[in-house]
Amino acid sequence: MEKLCKYGTHRVIYPLGSLPQAAEKLDNNMVCQDNEILIDVKTLNIDSASFTQIKGAANSDIEDMKEMILSIVNQRGKMQNPVTGSGGMLLGTVKKVGKNISKDVKAGDEIASLVSLSLTPLKIDKIKAIHLNKDQVDIEGQAILFETGIFAKIPDDIPSHIALAALDVAGAPAQVKTLVKKDDTVLILGCAGKSGILCAYQARKSAGPNGKIIGIIHHDTHLVELQELNVCDHILIGDAKNPMEIYEKAMKLTDGEGADVTINVVNVQNTEMATILPTKPNGTVYFFSMATSFTKAALGAEGIAAEALMIIGNGYTKNHAKITLDILRESKEMYNLFEKRYGKV
């Protein structure tokens, strides 16, 4: 192993010189180095785009999904879907803390990682269960967090699997808090998913009573749940892969003006133009989805002469864990929905 690096380059096997996220293979030997934290992993919260791709490729067959996940981790030393490039995050208990780690953490602490599994050395001994409706995988295994790796301690007032689900997308509502201004019109594609409902809640708070929140969902499965949150002024059913459909519906609801801020949190490909088209010329487009293609977004925007500011979602925003968990604390309706969807069976 190379000289220890706070960014984890000492764990990179191939190609040398790359950072762990970009590496094709990491050293997942679970010996804790002086600048690392060793974790006994309980659950992987797989990124939605990745989990959807794996589930689709395996036709929702649990055993086939297990085989695919184990194959990825065995080959790469981390959980990074080679199709989507994305990872997820984990829930576990700290087993050992390297002597050079100065963070407030000790053996026995239950934590959720706030860095992607696509850069986290991981070893899976056994997959115990796959939860198809939660994007979560219960395992026996271990993982390494680097010196710069961020994490959140699981709070006493929120059960671990509920906190894990929320923290997986903590960057989204935290960034929405910054992006959405008073009286804004906000369009959210993928509004029924966990990142979508958290973004809608925060958008409602930031835009205020005179703002307009429009949620786009693909089908009516979660329509009633979204309605009961009472955060959207309008909820539309539409196909985000059909940009003209979304554009026409959104423009009708905004009197032809479009949205000030459009947020994309879908988990499928080819939704870039449905996000850009209904946004005002001087508006903001926020891509939080890991299924987003930078090429399609950039060239597509150029092709329609769209001048909107386009932002690629960063999973980290200052205080994002607290901002997101506070939503669950202040909204009984949101907490109950997360408990229904992600509470431990």
pLDDT digits (tens, 9 = 90+) for 94-130: 999 999 999 999 999 999 999 999 999 999 999 999 9
130 and 246 in one domain? Answer: no
Q: Within 10 Å of residue 44's Cβ, how many Cβ atoms?
A: 31
List the domain range (segments joined by +) for residue 93. Answer: 9-154
Q: Can you read off the two tokens belonging to residue 242? A: 């059909």
Q: Calculate mean pLDDT across residues 84-92.
A: 95
345 pLDDT above the threshold of 60? no
Q: Phi-psi bin for 309: left (phi > 0), alpha (psi -120 to 50), beta?
A: beta
294 and 197 in one domain? Answer: yes
Q: Calculate mean pLDDT across residues 299-320.
A: 92
143 and 187 in one domain? Answer: no
179 and 127 in one domain? Answer: no
Q: Calculate mean pLDDT across residues 312-330.
A: 92
pLDDT tens figures, 246-262: 999 999 999 999 999 99
144 and 57 in one domain? Answer: yes
Tally the domains of the chain.
2
Indicate the average pLDDT of the chain. 95
Q: Can you read off the two tokens belonging to residue 106? A: 């000790």
Question: Nearest Cα to 89, choosing from 150, 31, 148?
Answer: 150
Q: Calculate mean pLDDT across residues 184-188.
A: 98
pLDDT tens figures, 152-185: 999 999 999 999 999 999 999 999 999 999 999 9
210 and 81 in one domain? Answer: no
Mark which of 126, 154, 182 sits at the end of a domain: 154
Q: Is residue 162 part of a domain?
A: no
Alpha carbon distance 44, 117 (integer Å): 9
Distances (CA, A) of 256 to 65, 155, 235, 249, 337: 45, 45, 17, 10, 34
Q: Calculate mean pLDDT across residues 265-271.
A: 93
pTM metric for this prediction = 0.90
Distances (CA, A) of 342 to 166, 193, 310: 9, 12, 31
Alpha carbon distance 149, 154 (integer Å): 16
